Copies of this chain bind each other. A is one copy, B any other.
Amino acid sequence: MSQQRLHTGRRRNEEARQATLAAALRLFAERRPDEVTVAAIAAEAGVGKQTIYRWWPSKYAILLEAMTDLGQSEVPVPDTGSVAADLTEFVTATFAGARSARVAPLLRVLVSEAQRDTGIHTMLREFTDRRREALGAVVRRGVSRGELTPDAPVGLVVDQVFAVLWYRLLFDNGPLSDTAARQLTDALLKQLG
């Protein structure tokens, strides 16, 4: 029985991949998104354009991969024994992560592009759904501990947290400070009764 040859030729260059991701992060952080061209990323990374097109469908896909790589150091889900404390900590940490001058512009770019490219939209949903799930778990833990009634509208509370986050991020019409996080958390806890 003959074994089909699996792969011949040169393998993917990991250095080129890293250089491309780093270059994309750098350029998207410091330039307007339409000024970040594939050619510019290639030049910045010292890489050929074709190498980029071989591995990524668009410049935004590069950005998303780069941010996912960064996000490996994921915000841990807090577990202090109290919904109020867990929620406050989670929201505060989430707001802090999003408001940073380094990641805020990148998040804006991704939402912007997601409205134009369904592929990016899907990838961004997967990215955000992981965080939604984490926050949902925190609230549900409150239910199972008896702090909250079983009919607590978990989804709606989660929605409101991330909705306010993105709303202020995208429209730049409100703070994402620790204080803002606490005010929102307090309001939501009151909602949850």
Residues of A participating in the B interface, judged by any CB pair closer than 8 Å: 32-34, 108-109, 111-116, 121, 124-125, 128-129, 153, 155-156, 159-160, 162-164, 166-168, 170-174, 183-184, 187-188, 190-191, 193
Contact = CB atoms under 8 A, between A and B. Distances in A.
Contacts of A114: 170-171
Nearest to A112: B115
**Which of A159, A166, A183, A191 gathers most chain B CB within 10 Å?**
A159
Given A166-B166, A167-B167, A187 B156 contact: yes
A160 B164 contact: yes
A132 to B, nearest CB: 8
A71 B34 CA distance: 30
B111 A115 contact: yes
Given A160-B160, A191-B191, A116 B174 contact: no
Oligomer: number of copies: 4
Contacts of A34: 116
Contacts of A162: 167
Contacts of A164: 159-160, 163
**Which of A168, A173, A174 gathers most chain B CB within 10 Å?**
A173
Given A173-B125, A193-B190, A116 B167 contact: no
9 contacts: A115-B170, A125-B172, A128-B171, A155-B174, A160-B187, A163-B163, A166-B166, A190-B191, A191-B191
Contacts of A167: 159, 162-163, 166-167
Contacts of A128: 171, 173
Nearest to A48: B9
Nearest to A166: B167
A72 B30 CA distance: 38
